[in-house]
Amino acid sequence: MSANFKAELTACFGQPVAENPTGVMQEAAFAALGLNWRYLTVEVAPSKLREAVAGARAFGLRGFNCTIPHKVAVMEYLDAIAPDAAVIGAVNTVRREGDRLIGENTDGKGFLRGVRVDAGVDPKGKRAVVLGAGGASRAITTELALAGAQNVLVVNRSVERGEAMVADLAAKTGAPIRFAVWESVYRVPGDVDLLVNATSIGLYPDVDAMPPVDLSRARSGMLVCDAVFNPPETRLLAAARQRGLPVLDGLSMLVYQGVIGFQLWTGQDPPVDVMKAALREALGA
């Protein structure tokens, strides 16, 4: 009788990394499909990233995620970068193609898939407002632009950061991306189709914080999305619900970035519901 006791390995490299819940949903999906695969959540210091990637090659990892603070730094240790990850300027998922390691970014793609699948909205031709100009905003804004949004307005507190990001992404994508400074309360105009909170406002433990936005002029079908996933029900989403607006929580983006990573690594479609349930349980949601 022949036997195969070898597990295929995937991982997440970050620091701090202990509270990253991705492994829970990936392992639930591996188990559901009967795959002898593992997802290791590994603490890697910035000074050890080069060795960690060399280790990934030596161990034949099938792929890995990078989280804070490695999403930009990892790029110099890879063999190629996918076009959209190059525009974003950051990699959160690495896949293997033979012996080559390819950098991908599934954050913005995960967000878009959630918008399409969970909210039933096609971003093509839509007018979007993205709050924030950090890493999450960069990924979301890039993918909205590449998906053919009619325009994307980035609203950020820090002018320098917001202007620099918008100038860079507009030049790289050729898409109509504009910037507005976030002063006091931002009044969302009535012609916006999609509002995204890509700031960290509302993130645990600051769960009572609410992005200073006025939704009173929002048109009735405007989709309100939050990148914050802990807690999934943020003050912003509660305020939107109260106005009868459709909402999409940050768990959707988190799950679908993992779904896309799973597909890139295994070539198979994972059971999305199993991943969502595992994540909800892990986060006590």
What is the binding site for ligand NDP (CB under 6 A)? 107, 132-137, 156-158, 161, 198-201, 203, 227-229, 250, 253-254, 257
Nearest Cα to 104, choosing from 90, 115, 118? Answer: 90
Query: What's the Cα-to-Cα distance from 274 to each of 107, 231, 255, rounded to whole Å?
Result: 20, 19, 10
Positive/negative CA dihedral, 123, 181, 134, 227? negative
Least spacing, CB of residue 22 vs ligand NDP, in Å:
9
6 catalytic per annotation: no
Nearer residue to ligand NDP within complex by CB, 44 or 228: 228
Q: Which of 159, 97, 107, 105 is nearest to 136 (CA)?
A: 107
Q: Name which of 79 and 119 has its Cβ closer to ligand NDP.
A: 119
CB of 156 to ligand NDP, least distance (A): 5
Q: How far is the CB of 78 from ligand NDP (least distance, A)?
A: 20
CB nearer ligand NDP, residue 55 or residue 119: 119
Min dist. Cβ of residue 183 to ligand NDP (A): 11
Nearer to ligand NDP, 31 or 181 (CB): 181
6, 48, 71, 276: which is the annotated catalytic residue? 71
Nearer residue to ligand NDP within complex by CB, 184 or 220: 184
Report DSSP state, residue 7. Answer: P
d(CA 216, CA 223): 14
Torsion of CA 97, 12, 169, 188, to 10 degrees: 140
Least Cβ distance, residue 254 to ligand NDP (angstroms) = 4
Residues near 131 by beta carbon (within 8 Å), at least 6 away in sequence: 137, 155, 156, 182, 186, 195, 196, 197, 198, 199, 211, 213
Residue 179 near residue 154, CB atoms below 8 Å? yes
Contact 229, 253 (CB under 8 A): yes
Q: Which residue is nearest to ligand NDP (CB)?
A: 134
Question: Which residues are known catalytic residues?
Answer: 71
